[in-house]
Amino acid sequence: MIPRLFRRCLIAGLIAVIVITAVYAQIIETPAEKAHYQKGGTLYEPLMDFIYILESQTELMNVQRLTKTLRDRDVVLCILSDPPVYSPADVAKTGKPVVLIANNVHGGEVAGKDASLEIMRDLIMGDLRPLLKKVVVLNIPSLNPDGAEEGRRTNEQGFDMNRDYLKLESQEIFALVSKVMNKWHPDIHVDTHHGGSAPYALVYQTCMNPAGDSELIRFGDEEVLPRIREALRAEDYDGFWYSGGRWVEGSPQWSPTSVEPRKQHVYSALANVVGFLFETPSGDYRVVKNGTEVVAVPAEERYQHQVRGEYIGQRELIRFAAERGRDLKRVIAEAKLQALELGNNDSDNDQIPIKYEQKEKFKEEFWIEKKDGESGEYIKVKGGVHTLFEPTRTATRPWGYLMPPQMAHVIPLLLGHEISVKRLSEPVEVEVEVYYAKEIKHPEYFQGHYLKEVKAEKKVEKIIIPEGSFFIPAGQQKSNLICYILEPETNDNLVTWGYLDDFLRVTVGLEEEQARQKERMQRYLENMKEEQRKRFLKRFELRMKRLTNQKIPIYRLMKKTGLKGVLVQPYNEYQKNMYIRY
């Protein structure tokens, strides 16, 4: 028998632990909770104070600095697991799924950030703690602390960083891709924002780009998102697709945002991650009673509801990964294996999307403001949900791509995406498909670039590839991403962002330029002899013709070929931007 005194001491000790734990949970409030959600998003100093206070109270959380912003603020990664993990190698040994939550990439969009602080607290000392036995959670509370301090969408460079996932020009997104996605290899990646249509508490989107693995996309759409909506309704909210409803010729329809891989949720899928976009609408209105009624929300309560909607979404992703980790891992492993097999197979049976169009996928009921009604007058309608993006043009997936030595400047970008590149150690004669640009437009100026659009035609040619050229095998896990970046006629590629400006000239207005040049040359032509004039005009016409037949120095190698060379290694694996040192 246990001595009575010892038993009393044991009971007293247990009571003390319970009391201390309860007090602890009350004391460790997030900054938003302390302010009763009346001050908006948490700013940098209280954010970092909370992170380090939380980290000091537990062995289950570690903090890694990813980079410093141009205003000298830390962008940190919070790593949560039970038992704790300290590196990607630790995670690989556990076999646990990894959920990555990235917040506040747009400085003024803050509900996801404050929700993620509550999530971390509850994972460490609340009712979510058992989940850490089955899942590793990576949280970046703020990707854009500089923008957050100013309430500004962009970072200090003026970049909309959720358009930077292909070009990796901002050090914040470069750090996220190179130090988190390429190292920790998350299974789920969610990016949190403000946007979308009320009266929903949370609106969401997955990849939808047909270049992504179809089963990976289906898994997110049909297995994960319904669970999030069910959880929202269980707490008297509702969720729906991003971004919103509108009336088109008197009929209601719902449309998502565009699906270029410059955006996180699309890039993630092309990199074989189940990617999600979470958007928080205004919070002015709320769907209640299991989706059957819309009520107005008082202004002082709106931010709390916005944070709660994000919290539910993040929590359900973690719960899903913990409960269905095997299924999640299987879908991702199969997507990677299929990419490897399709890229290594040099048959002509595999088609990759080059162009696509948006279509209605299904009809469903949703809430929308009345047509010609007062603001805030919502009705439930059944309308088309346009979340299908169907290929309209495809190309055969090549066995790989060849680039001459002059394209060396793009190699660091490819390596930054964890794409392997081989440098040839001897010349080789090969038959390739060569693109010739017939028309190059720059319809938009965005983030320091005139975005290019190319119309091209392919020709089969035998060419000699010199020593020092580069070969990018398509048979890699990120084969879908490789093809999207290197095919010049997709809507997001190396040509789009100006990486081939040294080789390609915009042809918009070419006829007008020809006419002006001919007019300027007229006085010189008048003084030429007939034979000289003919030769001069012939050279002029040839020069102008070349502008509508510009060779694009990215060659499609269709058949397996012996290529002697070595894999390229990064010059500096840890820091792309030389002006920042640690």
The span from the CA of 417 to the CA of 482, in Å, is 9
Q: What is the pLDDT of residue 421?
A: 97
Give Cβ neighbours of residue 282 (< 8 Å, ≥ 6 apart).
198, 302
User: 452 and 304: one domain?
Assistant: no
Give the model's pLDDT for residue 72: 97
Predicted local distance difference test score (pLDDT) of residue 573: 56
Range of the domain at 298: 33-388
pLDDT value at position 579?
36
Backbone angles phi, psi at 577, to 5 degrees: -85, 110
Q: Which residue, among 504, 499, 478, 496, has the nearest Cα to 408 in the 3D structure?
A: 499
Q: Are residues 405 and 517 in the same domain?
A: no
Looking at the fold, whether 332 and 445 belong to one and the same domain comes out as no
Task: Identify the pLDDT of residue 1.
Answer: 45
Together in a domain, 235 and 311: yes
Same domain membership, residue 200 and residue 100: yes
How much is the pLDDT for 347?
87
Neighbours of 233 (CB within 10 A): 19
- Residue 461 sits in the same domain as residue 517: no
- For residue 27, the model assigns a pLDDT of 66
Work out whether strand 74-80 and strand 136-140 pair parallel, antiparallel, or are unpaired: antiparallel
In a domain, 414, yes or no: yes
Domain at 315, CATH number:
3.40.630.10
The tokens 């049909």 sit on which residue? Answer: 222
DSSP labels, 490-559: SSSSTTTTTTTTTT----TTHHHHHHHHHHHHHHHHHTS-HHHHHHHHHHHHHHHHHHTSEEEEEEEE-S
Q: Residue 39 falls within a domain, yes or no? A: yes
For residue 15, is it within any domain? Answer: no
Same domain (yes/no): 212, 289: yes
pLDDT the model gives residue 25: 46
- At residue 253, the pLDDT reads 95
Is residue 366 located within the same domain as residue 453?
Answer: no
169 shares a domain with 40: yes
> Global pTM?
0.90
Split the chain (582 residues) into runs of 10 and give each run's mean pLDDT.
Answer: 51 47 64 97 98 97 97 98 97 95 98 98 97 98 98 96 97 97 98 96 97 97 98 98 93 95 97 98 95 96 98 98 98 98 92 97 96 86 97 97 96 96 97 95 91 95 97 98 98 97 82 66 72 73 72 97 93 50 32
Final residue belonging to a domain, choices 339, 361, 388: 388
Model pLDDT, residue 507: 81
Residues in the chain: 582
Domain count, the chain: 3
Nearest to 137 by CA among 94, 197, 106: 94
347 shares a domain with 238: yes
